[in-house]
């Protein structure tokens, strides 16, 4: 099955993020630079926040990062979902982030330590 976004592109984007923890908005900033054609294709398919769509490109990428974090070879620590009764991998959004992201809370993904030192 071919996915809309190959895992190697997710991994390459994560490696290029300078911080040890990041949000989907940080991921998008780097991804757009690395893969502009893929970004345009995903935006065309899902749309962006503010376009009156329930499932946007931001949601898609956040879900992909969540799923990727659970794989044994992932560059990320496993993400703790809100539905698991814990709120430790989320933080409140800033006013600037709120313009691009609908929820008052945003997921924070954390790199495994080996990735930070590469």
Q: Which domain holds residue 44?
A: 7-112
Q: How many domains does the chain have?
A: 1
Distance separating alpha carbons of residues 112 and 15, to the nearest angstrom: 11
Instruction: Say if residue 40's pLDDT is above 60.
Output: yes
How do residues 74-117 score in pLDDT, each as one tens digit?
A: 999 998 876 655 667 888 999 988 888 878 888 899 999 865 54
51-63 average pLDDT score: 82
pTM for the model: 0.85
Q: In this structure, is residue 24 part of a structural domain?
A: yes
Considering the domain boundaries, does residue 118 fall inside one?
no
């Amino acid at each position: 099955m071919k996915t809309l976004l190959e895992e190697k592109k997710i991994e390459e984007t994560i490696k290029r993020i300078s911080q040890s923890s990041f949000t989907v908005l940080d991921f998008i900033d780097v991804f757009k630079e690395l893969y502009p054609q893929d970004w345009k294709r995903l935006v065309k398919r899902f749309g962006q926040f503010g376009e009156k769509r329930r499932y946007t490109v931001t949601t898609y990428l956040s879900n992909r990062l969540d799923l990727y974090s659970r794989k044994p070879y992932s560059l990320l620590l496993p993400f703790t979902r809100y539905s698991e009764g814990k709120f430790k991998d989320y933080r409140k959004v800033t006013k600037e982030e709120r313009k691009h992201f609908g929820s008052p809370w945003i997921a924070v993904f954390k790199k495994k330590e080996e990735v930070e030192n590469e």
